[in-house]
């Protein structure tokens, strides 16, 4: 059971909460997580919450064991973001010396009314931290440990999509050390999509169009993980649909100016045109929302998430995967969808906390 909230009452400012915004970590998406966490922390601070930014792995040695003053009213978010980044060059050495949670992290999370999960990738989005928090009665944002784990594993995602009638591209699984057949013989063919089974932000993802490029793509993806997904390439338009508390938000279209929606196009300013609401018919928008909701429920998700969708030239819709902790800057996809229904970024951050606390642990 989660302990009762110790929400700070402050006349004229409503219910003020002590919130740990958990970011950083050791995944390939560490920097994106720090950016998300910084923006979330600033947004919650603008609503007068006592939010603080903490690196889940590096922690904060500057805080005493009594945690006195940790949730101070006056707080410099950018200074703590810089403090977190100061550990970047030391991570490899730190990983060999100690366990995952950094100094004071668990104690601060237990002291907080809620932990806002601004983590992305492994050891953050894969359900492991969520499971620990549930055992300890720590309230946190996002999906439960089960949904997080299922959505992080793209092999499990595709199995559950197929079993629940959610349209998804045909794909196969490759394990490191297995003999890799030619693309023309593996049942998928060319072009195809090669991606790590548990990665995020399109790290290690390639779209090979020749046998040589396919071999290179597999080798590159195996440098990130030991399990890969090779799936049918769907040529067409790409969309995303956020789900918050079981409600589908407006569909957003993602159109990279060059190539596909890879790591660079996701995070380099001006490299992708994002249109929200998407310029499509109401009927097609409803179909994408319906498919996204089906994907959300097939993976046992709750609280919120975001579903990535492709549409081919014949307007067939395919669900690719789910993001249980989507990017959280004001220009990220889910915040853009929220803005389309009149919800600004700070209000969205509060909404995500509200629906997560309603879920409980």
Say what the pLDDT of residue 99 is.
85
CB atoms within 10 A of CB 234: 19
- Omega prior to 277 cis, within 30 of 0: yes
Q: What is the pLDDT of residues 263-273, one digit of tens each?
A: 454 545 566 89
- Cα–Cα distance for residue pair 140/146, rounded to 1 Å: 14
Residue of 30, 199, 327, 332 with catalytic role = 327
How distant, in Å, are the alpha carbons of 167, 289, 334 from that of 292?
10, 5, 14
Residue of 24, 124, 306, 350 with catalytic role = 306
Active site residue 267: yes
Strand order in the sheet with 192-196: 171-175, 227-232, 192-196
Confidence of residue 97 (pLDDT cuts 50, 70, 90): confident
- Cα–Cα distance for residue pair 113/5, rounded to 1 Å: 5
How distant, in Å, are the alpha carbons of 21, 47, 274, 334, 335 from that of 251?
27, 27, 11, 10, 12
Active site residue 321: yes
Q: What is the pLDDT of residues 170-198, one digit of tens each?
A: 999 999 988 888 988 888 999 999 998 88
Active site residue 201: yes
Angle, alpha carbons 326-332-333 (nearest 5°): 75
Residue of 55, 153, 308, 337 with catalytic role = 308
Active site residue 287: no
Active site residue 323: yes
Residue of 60, 113, 134, 321 with catalytic role = 321
Residue of 25, 29, 199, 337 with catalytic role = 29
Q: What is the pLDDT of residues 208-218, one digit of tens each?
A: 999 999 999 99
Residue 121 and residue 148 in contact, taking contact as beta carbons nearer than 8 Å: no
Active site residue 75: no
- Residue 111 exposed, middle or buried by CB count within 10 Å (0-12, 13-18, 19+): middle
Residue of 145, 214, 249, 267 with catalytic role = 267
- Cα–Cα distance for residue pair 83/103, rounded to 1 Å: 14
HSE at residue 79, side-chain half, CA atoms within 13 A, is 6
Q: What is the pLDDT of residues 302-332, one digit of tens each?
A: 999 999 999 999 999 999 999 999 999 888 9
Question: What are the chain's domains?
Answer: 8-141 (3.40.50.20), 151-166+235-324 (3.30.470.20), 171-232 (3.30.1490.20)
Strand partners, 248: 243
């Amino acid at each position: 059971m989660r302990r009762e909230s110790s929400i700070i009452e402050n006349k004229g400012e409503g219910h003020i909460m002590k919130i740990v915004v958990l970011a950083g970590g050791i995944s390939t998406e560490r920097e994106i997580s720090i950016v998300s966490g910084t923006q979330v922390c600033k947004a919650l601070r603008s609503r007068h919450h006592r939010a603080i930014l903490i690196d889940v792995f590096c922690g904060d040695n500057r805080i005493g064991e009594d945690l006195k003053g940790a949730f101070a009213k006056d707080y410099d978010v950018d200074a703590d973001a810089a403090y977190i980044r100061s550990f970047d060059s030391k991570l490899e050495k730190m990983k060999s010396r100690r366990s995952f949670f950094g100094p004071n992290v668990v104690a601060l999370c237990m002291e907080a009314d809620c932990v806002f999960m601004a983590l992305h990738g492994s050891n953050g989005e894969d359900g492991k931290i969520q499971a620990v928090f549930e055992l300890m009665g720590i309230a946190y944002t996002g999906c439960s440990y089960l949904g997080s784990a299922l959505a992080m594993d793209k092999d499990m995602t595709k199995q559950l999509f197929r079993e629940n009638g959610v349209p998804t591209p045909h794909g196969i699984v490759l394990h490191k050390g297995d003999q890799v057949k030619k693309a023309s013989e593996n049942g998928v063919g060319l072009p195809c999509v090669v991606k790590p089974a548990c990665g995020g932000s399109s790290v290690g993802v390639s779209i090979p169009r020749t046998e040589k490029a396919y071999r290179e793509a597999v080798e590159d993806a195996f440098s990130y993980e030991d399990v890969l997904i090779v799936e049918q390439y769907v040529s067409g338009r790409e969309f995303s649909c956020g789900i918050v508390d079981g409600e589908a938000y407006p569909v957003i279209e993602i159109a990279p100016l060059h190539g596909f929606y890879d790591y660079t196009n996701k995070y380099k300013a001006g490299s992708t045109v994002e249109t929200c609401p998407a310029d499509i018919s109401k009927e097609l928008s409803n179909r994408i929302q319906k498919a996204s909701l089906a994907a959300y429920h097939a993976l046992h998700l709750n609280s919120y998430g975001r579903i990535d969708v492709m549409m081919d030239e014949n307007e067939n819709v395919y669900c690719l995967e789910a993001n249980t902790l989507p990017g959280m800057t004001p220009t990220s996809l889910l915040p853009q969808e929220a803005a389309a229904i009149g919800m600004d970024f700070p209000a969205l951050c509060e909404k995500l906390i509200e629906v997560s606390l309603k879920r409980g642990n």
